[in-house]
């Protein structure tokens, strides 16, 4: 079986749910604590052994490109001022020369189109796709969990998770043929089905290991749900021709394109940071208590 060495990180969307921040800051560059969202995807891919990072970007995303580059002036200044911890942090987000590439998607024509734009870099080998706005807090990074499972399934593998029945219309949904509790053999995939017609509640959660034949399917450039070129539709056409499984990955997931979940991710990640945890916990408890008292209409009882 060919190893999975390349990862595509689609980052060319408009981020309309995060306006007005995303007028001038790419959604993928909004921060969770002190790292941009996209850095979590890169760290996850790196932990899974990925050797080439292919970012799909668009106009207005140059800060994302700069983030992974070397910044001589900054490094020099930090060194000169003896700020070695900050220097190590800044260097930690650098990617090795020749190990990353940027390809432009001229228009946000959908996730399938974004992946198709990376086809020359992917070539004829299996590859991973990580949606950077899906961020996971997990002991074992999700892509690493998936590559372990992939060693036994081969073919195509997508991360899945149950969503409430009334939310199927927001996600790609897997139609299960067989479910052993962790692995789910797929007999179909549907993009954003209404709850009444959804074949299950198993949603696709932004991590994929795909065979290169999906690029031939994307060549057709068929528009699907919402008029966009959907990765889900191209993947669905591989089912029956190649092994195709969903895998339940462990860990807490945050869809950081959603404002409430971005706030929750900041709270969860900062509570995992020893140097921040106490201060953040105290602030969160105080805010929650004040809000509860205010909501209960007892302003005189407010905590000082």
Binding site for ligand UTP (CB under 6 A): 10-18, 27-28, 56, 105, 108-111, 113-114, 131-133, 257
Nearer to ligand UTP among residue 11 and residue 168 (C-beta): 11
Classify residue 97 by burial, with Cβ atoms within 10 Å: 0-12, 13-18, 19+. Answer: exposed
Q: How many Å apart are CA 236 and CA 27, to the nearest integer?
A: 28
Residue 268: CB minimum distance to ligand UTP, A = 20
Angle value at C-alpha 42, between 174 and 96, nearest 5 degrees: 145
Cβ count near 259 (within 10 Å): 13
Considering the complex, what minimum distance in angstroms separates the CB of residue 179 from ligand UTP? 26
Q: Please enumerate in sequence order all residues whose Cβ is within 8 A of that of 147, keeping only pairs 6 or more positions apart, or say none.
A: 4, 48, 49, 128, 209
For ligand UTP, give the closer residue by CB, 27 or 150. Answer: 27
Q: Which of 213, 205, 244 is nearest to 41 (CA)?
A: 205
Nearer to ligand UTP by C-beta: 131 or 238? 131
The least distance separating ligand UTP from the CB of residue 96, rounded to whole angstroms, comes to 23
Which CB sits closer to ligand UTP, 78 or 117? Answer: 117
CA distances (Å), 66 to each of 62, 71, 80, 95, 249, in order? Answer: 6, 8, 22, 11, 31
Residue number, nearest CB to ligand UTP? 13
The answer to whether 204 and 248 have CB atoms below 8 angstroms apart is no
Shortest distance, position 107 Cβ to ligand UTP, whole Å: 7
In the complex, minimum distance from the CB of residue 291 to ligand UTP, in angstroms, rounded to a whole number: 27
3-state secondary structure (DSSP) of residue 93: coil
Spatial separation of the C-alpha atoms in residues 32 and 143, rounded to whole Å: 20
- CB of 22: closest distance to ligand UTP in angstroms? 7
Closest distance between ligand UTP and the C-beta of residue 117, in Å? 8
Helices (H), the chain: 37-47, 62-67, 72-80, 84-92, 111-117, 119-122, 142-153, 213-218, 231-236, 259-271, 274-295
Nearer to ligand UTP, 2 or 16 (CB): 16
């Amino acid at each position: 079986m060919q190893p999975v060495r390349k990862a595509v990180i689609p980052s060319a969307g408009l981020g309309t749910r995060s306006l007005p921040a995303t007028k001038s800051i790419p959604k993928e560059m909004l921060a969770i604590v002190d790292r941009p969202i996209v850095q979590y995807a890169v760290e996850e891919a790196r932990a899974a052994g990925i050797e080439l990072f292919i970012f799909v970007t668009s106009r207005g995303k140059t800060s994302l490109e700069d983030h992974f580059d070397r910044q001589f002036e900054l490094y020099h200044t930090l060194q000169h001022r003896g700020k070695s911890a900050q220097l190590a942090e800044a260097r930690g987000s650098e990617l090795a020369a020749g190990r990353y590439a940027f390809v432009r998607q001229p228009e946000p024509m959908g996730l399938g189109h974004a992946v198709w734009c990376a086809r020359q870099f992917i070539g004829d080998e299996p590859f991973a796709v990580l949606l950077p706005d899906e961020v996971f807090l997990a002991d074992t990074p999700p892509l690493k969990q998936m590559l372990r499972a992939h060693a036994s399934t081969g073919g195509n593998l997508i991360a899945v998770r149950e969503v409430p029945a009334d939310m199927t219309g927001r996600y790609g949904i897997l139609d299960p043929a067989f479910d052993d509790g962790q692995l789910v053999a797929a007999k179909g995939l549907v993009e954003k089905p209404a709850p009444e017609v959804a074949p299950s509640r198993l949603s696709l959660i932004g991590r994929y290991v795909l065979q290169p034949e999906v690029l031939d399917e994307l060549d057709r450039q068929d528009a699907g749900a919402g008029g966009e070129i959907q990765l889900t539709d191209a993947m669905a056409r591989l089912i029956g021709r190649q092994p195709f499984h969903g895998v339940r990955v462990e860990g807490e997931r945050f869809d950081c394109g959603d404002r409430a979940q971005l706030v929750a991710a900041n709270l969860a990640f900062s509570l995992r940071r020893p140097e921040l945890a106490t201060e953040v916990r105290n602030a969160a408890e105080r805010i929650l208590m004040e809000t509860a008292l205010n909501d209960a209409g007892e302003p005189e009882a407010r905590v000082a």
